[in-house]
Amino acid sequence: MRQSLIDRFAAVRTATEDLAAPLTPEDQQVQSMPDCSPTKWHRAHTTWFFETFLLLPRGVAPFDPHYGFLFNSYYEHVGPRHARPKRGMLSRPTADEVSTYRRAIDGRLLELLSAASDDELAAMRPVLELGLAHEEQHQELLLTDVLNAFSENPLRPVYRQAGASTGNVVISDSPMRFVDYPGGTLEIGAADTNAFVFDNELPRHRAWLEAYALADRLVTVGEWKAFADAGGYDTATLWLADGLDFVRAHGIRGPLYSRRDGGALVVFGLDGVREAADDEPLAHVSFYEADAIATFFGARLPREEEWEAAAVALPASDGNFRESGALRPLPADEPSDAPRQLFGDAWEWTRSSYSPYPGFTAGAGAIGEYNGKFMVNQFVLRGGSCFTPRGHVRPTYRNFWHPGTRFQMTGVRLAKDATER
């Protein structure tokens, strides 16, 4: 166990630095909106997490007493913190000084892991694994936040030169099909608590599902065009009241980072500006847009329990995740009897409010603040995206964002009740 934890710690920490490597110090400083954070802050905050929750409780002196204030995110139990919307004002410490901080804490933590007794290591393991999962979440945020920052730059900087195809737009030859599920009483939530899971995946509990059907793939750009060209953004009957107010107030006519150019949807991504293919999954849409699109197609968004019940039989590591190198959603494979793209490509909005499972209890102290206190005014997303590290998600994993969120890699899967089939 010891060596596997050490190896995993080293791999996760290295992955963060690899993601930051293409960025200049100036790139790492930018905070384009309050919901985003500078790359430099992500690198420091994840380091602060390990220092605060593993090293300081064991008597290791702080690297810099000021960093607790600068890099605490939302942990009230830990103390006051720098205001989130002003993280981009932190020109000091520099990106190089954050690198020094990371190396120092890595060295101290690896020394601690190597010297700890078996009992001490077992006591540290839950917090260490939480810290690793936490850093993987910030790796994904690092990419979404860089994309948002670069989208605000008139020069349209490119994160990486990937040689992305900008050839002819492909019309999908894979019509959407629906896969039927019988419903019934099912067990929902994480079962194997010996493996790491977030507290919001617990406790496992029974849920009743009516018979339903899920679309066998994500909604595509071509299908979004059909919605938009039919006046979808102007048809009030398709929208929730809050959603209609939202798109009107913000002048929304399409996915974030996109514009229409005749019949084409031109999108901006980490590899620059390109024309989106009609058969690639739609991304960067809010819950409100996802709900309206589903209504347009005579369907609805899935409930999170429906999504999970369909996903449990499928390998969560199979999908277009960050390690594939695409860093954008890809067209679905050939049709099969099982739903495609349940994992990777784009996070899938569900119709489920982010709420505690029956019997949920937040942990004690600062660690208990990780998920529980955010269980209000948000919706659950499932499945991961092309920015998500492979192996980070599982069928029970619950992501959550406010319904107006568009800067995340968010997409749409349709569902129907069995009586609508």
Q: Give tens-digit pLDDT for 360-391.
A: 999 889 999 999 999 999 999 999 999 999 99
Residue 95 reports pLDDT greater than 50: yes
Q: What is the rounded distance in angstroms from the CA atom of residue 149 to the CA atom of residue 31?
A: 7
* Cis peptide bond N-terminal to 335, omega within 30: no
Residue 337 reports pLDDT greater than 90: no
Residue 175 reports pLDDT greater than 50: yes
Burial class of residue 95 (count of CB atoms within 10 Å of its CB; 0-12, 13-18, 19+): buried
pLDDT band at residue 194 under the 50/70/90 scheme: confident
**Architecture of the domain spanning 178-420:** Alpha-Beta Complex (3.90)
Question: Which CATH fold would you assign to the domain 2-151?
Answer: Four Helix Bundle (Hemerythrin (Met), subunit A) (1.20.120)
When the pLDDT of each residue in the chain is averaged and rounded to a whole number, the result is: 95
Write down the pLDDT at residue 270: 98
Average pLDDT over residues 393-418: 97
Residue 279 reports pLDDT greater than 60: yes
Write down the pLDDT at residue 166: 38
Tell me the residue type at 29: Q
Residue 164 reports pLDDT greater than 60: no
Q: Which residue has the higher pLDDT, 183 or 163?
A: 183
391 contacts: CB under 8 Å, gap ≥ 6: 316, 317
Domain boundaries, the chain: 2-151, 178-420
pLDDT band at residue 190 under the 50/70/90 scheme: very high
Task: Establish how many alpha carbons lie within 13 A of residue 302's alpha carbon, considering only the half-sphere containing its beta carbon.
Answer: 35
Write down the pLDDT at residue 336: 80
Write down the pLDDT at residue 165: 44
Whole-prediction pTM value? 0.96
Write down the pLDDT at residue 168: 40
Share of the chain above pLDDT 90, in %: 90
42-74, pLDDT tens digit by residue? 999 999 999 999 999 999 999 999 999 999 999
Of 5-14, 191-200, 311-320, where does mean pLDDT reach its minimum?
191-200
Write down the pLDDT at residue 163: 52
Sort strands 379-382 and 399-401 into parallel, antiparallel or unpaired: antiparallel
248-258, pLDDT tens digit by residue? 999 999 999 99
124-143, pLDDT tens digit by residue? 999 999 999 999 999 999 99
Residue 184 reports pLDDT greater than 50: yes
